[in-house]
């Protein structure tokens, strides 16, 4: 496990520094100007889903223009999670297509990966990683995000996360249940 994540987990979950936890959760993370310009110049919609909320992270969704060729249609998007507790991020790319199979069981086929599915996703990733890396942020891999944190005591009244907490839970969600609803 990354040393920065270990330090953050110890500070908030083992040593219970709730005052600093709430202070960091109250911070606002704005989208860097370079990202806004890229988005604007490339016809990408942007949603900062919890901007202004008291929460341990910011979640930004980028929706690209739908690609259509004949009957084939695909929607691309990218999701960026930015922790307020420590300088860590997670970026994943997604796609969604209509399921044309007459024997389908679901209306759409969807997928996600750290690897981009189209060139605009790759270009946006390059911009994001360049900017956030310069600010000292570390990008987590999928396996790092899903790493289970053993023997961590937390508010057991919060049953949403289940008995095993992951790095994703502690870095991006209010596992301590301290943020206002």
Print pLDDT tens along the chain (181 aa).
789 999 999 999 889 999 999 999 999 998 999 999 999 999 999 998 887 899 999 999 999 999 999 989 999 999 999 999 999 999 999 999 999 899 999 999 999 999 999 999 999 999 999 999 999 999 999 999 999 988 776 555 555 556 678 999 999 999 888 998 7
The answer to whether residue 181 is domain-embedded is no
pLDDT at 1: 77
Number of domains in the chain: 1
Backbone phi and psi for residue 126, each to the nearest 5 degrees, phi listed first: -60, -45
pLDDT at 155: 55
The answer to whether residue 37 is domain-embedded is yes
Residue 37 lies in domain: 3-172
The answer to whether residue 180 is domain-embedded is no
The answer to whether residue 178 is domain-embedded is no
pTM of the predicted model over 0.75 = yes
Distance CA 49, CA 5 (A): 24
Distance CA 46, CA 63 (A): 6
What are the start-end ranges of the H helices in the chain?
3-9, 18-26, 33-41, 119-134, 142-145, 167-172
pLDDT at 52: 80
The answer to whether residue 177 is domain-embedded is no
The answer to whether residue 10 is domain-embedded is yes
Place of tokens 């209010």: 174
């Amino acid at each position: 496990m990354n040393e920065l994540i270990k330090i953050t987990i110890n500070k908030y979950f083992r040593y219970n520094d709730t005052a600093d936890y709430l202070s960091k959760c109250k911070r606002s993370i704005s989208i860097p100007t370079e990202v806004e310009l890229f988005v604007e110049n490339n016809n990408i919609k942007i949603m900062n889903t919890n901007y202004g909320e008291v929460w341990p992270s910011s979640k930004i969704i980028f929706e690209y223009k739908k690609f259509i060729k004949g009957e084939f249609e695909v929607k691309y998007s990218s999701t960026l999670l930015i922790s307020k507790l420590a300088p860590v991020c997670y970026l994943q790319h997604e796609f969604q297509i209509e399921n044309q199979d007459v024997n389908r069981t679901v209306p759409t086929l969807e997928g996600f990966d750290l690897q981009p599915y189209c060139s605009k996703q790759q270009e946006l990733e390059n911009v994001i990683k360049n900017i956030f890396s310069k600010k000292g942020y570390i990008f987590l891999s999928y396996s790092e995000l899903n790493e289970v944190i053993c023997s961590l005591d937390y508010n057991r009244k919060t049953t949403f996360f289940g008995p095993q907490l992951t790095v994703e839970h502690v870095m991006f969600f209010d596992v301590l249940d301290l943020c206002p609803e």
